[in-house]
Structure 1
Amino acid sequence: MSTTAATTSVENATSATNRAQKQQKVTANLYAKDLNGKEFKAPDFTIAQVLNVIPKECFKRDLVKSLSFVARDIFFLFFFGYLAATFIPMIPSKTVRFFAWAAYTVIESFPMVGLWILAHECGHQAFSEYGWVNDFVGWVLHSYCGNPYFSWKFSHKKHHQHTGHIDKDMVFIPPRTSEWKEKRGVMSLSEVTADSPISSIITLIIQQTVGFQTYLFIDATGQKHPELQDKWYKKFVASHFNPVAPIFDKGDFWYIVLSDIGILTVGYSVYQWIQHFGWFNCMVNWFIPYLLVNHWIVFLTYLQHTDITLPHYEDNEWNFARGAGATIDREFGFVGWFFFHDIIETHVLHHYVSRIPFYNARKATEAVKKFIGDDYRYSDENMFVTLWKSLRSCEFVEGDNGVLMYRNHNGLGIPPIDK
C-alpha cells in the first residue's frame, strides 16, 4: 500500500469519524470514582484526533509479512510436536511422562493461539489489503482452532463498534447493581452472604474452561434479547452457529453457514485423525491445546475489558473514542509479544483503530499514548494475580451521571449504593 493510499484511507476515515462525532454528545468535565476512590474523568477528545497522531506508515498492511507469521506459527506447531513425539516417550517414569505431556499441551497451545490471533487480524482486514485473502486465511485458521470465522467476525465487529456501551457492547457486559441483585433473588446487597473464595474459584474454573464455548453456543455474557425472554430455547437461538441469530444481520446468513461448514470440516478431520492415529495422539496434539486456546482467549479478553479503573457508559454519555479508551494494555512477557502477537500489550490502540497490523501496533501505541496522556490505561501486574482480583472486585457497575464504575459486595474498595 503506497503512502498516498494510506494517507487517503486515513483522511477518509477521519472525515467519516468527524461527521459521526458531531452527532454524538460529549459532556466536558464528566467525573466518577473508580473502585479505589481515584477520580476518573471521561475523555473529551475525538477519534479523528487520535487517528491524526498515528504515523501513516503504521497503516501499511504487508501480505508477505503477515503470511510469514502464519508460517512461523505453523512451524512451531510442528516443531514442538516433533520434540514431544521424539523425546517424551523415552522418559522411563510414567509420572514424569504425564507431566511432560501436560507441559507440552500448554506449550503447543501458544502457536495455536498465535494462529487464532492472526485470523482475528484477518477479520479486521489488518492482515493484508486484499479482502478475499483475509477472509480465506481467517476462515482456514479460525476453523482449525475451532472458531466460526465469519460468525465471530460479525459479532466482534459490533463489539468494536460499541465497546464500553452498557447496552450495546457484545461481550463481558457487567450487570448493573439492580440486575446483579435480581439474578440472586434479593432486594438489597445486605441480604447476600459474602462470597467465599471457593465460590470465586468455581466461577473462575467455569469461565476459563468453557467460557468461550458457552459464549459461542449460547451468547453467554452477551446482550439480553428481550424478544426471546419467554422462549425456553432462547439461549440456543442466540448461538454463533445459528444463521438467523439476533446477533447477526439479515445479510450475514450464508457467511454463518460457511463458518459452520468450516467447523464441520474440522470436526470430520478430527474424527479421521482419531481413526488413523488414536485418541491420545489427537488429545495431546489438538484437543487439549484447543481447550487451552479458548482458555487463553477468555483470559486475555476478560482482562482487556475488566479492571477496577475502567468505566462503562450509558447511551447519553457514550461515544466511540470513550468506548475505545475503556480498555487496558497489560504485559504478558515473551509469550505475549512473540506468540500472542502483542494482542495484550497494544489492545487500547487496537480499539481506536483495528486495521493497523500487529507488527505496527507498538509504534502506533506510543503515538497514541503521548496524545491521550492520563486517559491511557496500562498495568504490568502479573495477569494471573489481576485475574483473581478482578473476579472478586468487578462484580457489577453503578453510577448516576452516565458513567458506570465497578463495585462489589465483597467489601473491596468503595462500597456500592445499595438501593
Structure 2
Amino acid sequence: MTISTIKVTDQTLTSTTKESDLRLKDILKTLPREVFAKDRRKAWTTLVINVLMVGLGYVGLAIAPWYLLPLLWIFTGTALTGFFVIAHDCGHRSFANRRWVNDLVGHVFLLPLIYPFHAWRLLHNQHHAHTNKLDIDNAWQPWKEEFYENLPSFARWGYRRLRGRFWWVGSIIHWAGMHFDWTQFQGKERQKVKLSVLVVLGFALVAFPLLVATTGFWGVVKFWLMPWMVYHFWMSTFTIVHHTIPSIPFMPEEQWNEAKAQLSGTVHCDYPSWVEFLCHNINVHIPHHLSVAIPSYNLKEAHRIIKENWGEHIHEYRFSWSLMKEITDECHLYDAEDCYYQSFDEYYAKKRA
C-alpha cells in the first residue's frame, strides 16, 4: 500500500498558523487515511519478531559467560520494552480490530513486566486526554512550589533525585504507585482493573517460585530483575523525553489548548536504530499524540507528513547525554510566572534572596 501525502495549501491550516488558533481536527485533516489503517500482517509480523528477539536474549542469558551478561541484559530488557509497545498499541485498540484480541495480547505481553493491562490502559488514556495539563496529567508533571514546600524532607529529597540523575527509576515508582489500586476506578472499569491485577499477581505467584526452584535466586536476578530494570530505564527515559524540555509548558486547565499540547507539547526524539527497531518506533511520538489510532508501523510516515505541514510547531531532538543533562538539570519545578520550568538551583536561590 502506498501512502500518499496530503499537502495543505490553505494558509489557515499550514505551519504558519498561530498556535492559539490550532485545532486538532485541522491537523488530522492533513494526514491521509492510510496512516490510520491497521495491517494485520505488519502487526503480527512485528509481534513474532519481537518474541524471537526476546527469546534470543534469554537463550543468550542462559548460555553466555558472565562477562557478556550486561550486554545481554541491555538487549533483552530493550526487547521486552518492545513487548510493552505492542501492549501499548493493544491498549489504544490500534493493534487488532477485535477488542478481545487487543485485550488478550495486551495482557499476555505485559505479564513478564508484571504490569496490569487495564490499569495501565485507563491511566495512560488520562495522560493522552490531558497532555501537559497542570494538576491533571499523570506523566512527569512538575510539582508546584507550594506543594513541594509542604512535603516532608524525605519526600522533597526523593523528588529531587527523580527529577535529577535518578530519573531512570521514575517508571518503577509510577508502576508501583498507580497500577495496583483498583479502588481508584469506578463501575465496569474497576472490575476490569481488578481482573488485570489478579491476572498479574497470579502469574507472579507461579512464575517466581518456579524460577527460584529451577535457577535459584540468582536466576531471578539474571533472567528477570536485570532485564526488567533495563526496561524501566527505557520507559523512564522515553516518557520523560516525550514531553519534557525547558521550552514546553505545563498549562493550567483554563489556558490549555488540546492541539498545541499534542503537537507542540510532544517531543520527537531519534534513538539509535537498534533501539527504534526493538521498540517499534514509539519515540516517533508526535503523530501518536495527535491520534492514538495510528499503529506503530505507520508512525514514521505520519511524522514525515506532519513535519512537512506543521514543521514550525514541532520539537525534534536526538537522544544524547547532553539532552538528558539539560532535562535533569533544568526541568524540576513548575514556574507559575510563565508556565514553564525552574530548576532547583533557581528555586533555592530565589528562596535565599
Q: TM-score, normalised by structure 2?
A: 0.86
- Partner in structure 1 of residue 237 of structure 2: 299
Question: Percent of aligned pairs with the same residue?
Answer: 20
For residues 296 and 408 of structure 1, what CA distance do their matches in structure 2 show? 23
- Partner in structure 1 of residue 38 of structure 2: 61
- Partner in structure 2 of residue 242 of structure 1: 181
Contact 1:126–1:357 at 8 Å: present in 2 too? yes
- Partner in structure 1 of residue 254 of structure 2: 316
Alpha carbons of 1:418 and 1:62: their partners in 2 closer, same or farther (altered >3 Å)? farther
Deviations 1:195-237 (A, max 9, x none): 9xxx96686464423x22321332xxxxxxxxxxxxxxxxxxx
- Partner in structure 2 of residue 80 of structure 1: 57
Amino acid aligned to 1:308: P
- Partner in structure 1 of residue 317 of structure 2: 379
Amino acid aligned to 2:23: T
Deviations 1:330-369 (A, max 9, x none): 111113320111111x111111101101111111111112
- The DSSP-based 3-state class of the residue aligned with 2:60 is helix
- Partner in structure 2 of residue 52 of structure 1: 29
Contact 1:110–1:335 at 8 Å: present in 2 too? no
- Partner in structure 2 of residue 341 of structure 1: 280
The Cα shift of 1:184 comes to: 7.5
Aligned residues: 333
- Partner in structure 2 of residue 17 of structure 1: none
For residues 343 and 217 of structure 2, what CA distance do their matches in structure 1 show? 44
Contact 1:43–1:375 at 8 Å: present in 2 too? no
- Partner in structure 2 of residue 215 of structure 1: 174
Contact 1:331–1:380 at 8 Å: present in 2 too? yes
Amino acid aligned to 2:332: E
For residues 268 and 286 of structure 2, what CA distance do their matches in structure 1 show? 6
For residues 273 and 205 of structure 1, what CA distance do their matches in structure 2 show? 32
Q: Does 1:261 align with 2:238?
A: no
Amino acid aligned to 1:343: I
- The DSSP-based 3-state class of the residue aligned with 2:190 is helix
Alpha carbons of 1:150 and 1:303: their partners in 2 closer, same or farther (altered >3 Å)? same
For residues 189 and 248 of structure 2, what CA distance do their matches in structure 1 show? 32
Q: Rg bigger for which structure?
A: 1
Amino acid aligned to 2:190: F
Amino acid aligned to 2:234: W
Amino acid aligned to 1:75: L
Deviations 1:62-111 (A, max 9, x none): 233212111111111222332343342xxxxxxxx2x3212211111111
The Cα shift of 1:372 comes to: 2.1
For residues 135 and 208 of structure 2, what CA distance do their matches in structure 1 show? 39
Contact 2:115–2:179 at 8 Å: present in 1 too? no
Q: Does 1:150 align with 2:139?
A: no
Q: Structure 2: where are the runs of 5+ without partners?
A: 4-16
- Partner in structure 2 of residue 22 of structure 1: none
Deviations 1:299-329 (A, max 9, x none): 1101111111111111121132122131111
Q: Structure 1: where are the runs of 5+ without partners?
A: 4-28, 30-40, 89-96, 186-191, 219-238
- The DSSP-based 3-state class of the residue aligned with 1:244 is helix
- Partner in structure 2 of residue 233 of structure 1: none
The Cα shift of 1:393 comes to: 0.4
Amino acid aligned to 2:168: Q
Alignment map for 1:11-160 (pairs within 5 Å)? 42-88=19-65, 97=66, 99-160=67-128
Alpha carbons of 1:359 and 1:202: their partners in 2 closer, same or farther (altered >3 Å)? closer
Match of 1:389 among 299, 322, 326: 326
For residues 205 and 408 of structure 1, what CA distance do their matches in structure 2 show? 13
- The DSSP-based 3-state class of the residue aligned with 1:113 is helix
The Cα shift of 1:404 comes to: 0.8
Amino acid aligned to 1:404: C
Alpha carbons of 1:144 and 1:381: their partners in 2 closer, same or farther (altered >3 Å)? closer
Deviations 1:122-155 (A, max 9, x none): 1011112111111110011112221111000000
Contact 1:140–1:262 at 8 Å: present in 2 too? no
For residues 51 and 75 of structure 2, what CA distance do their matches in structure 1 show? 13
Match of 1:275 among 203, 213, 229: 213
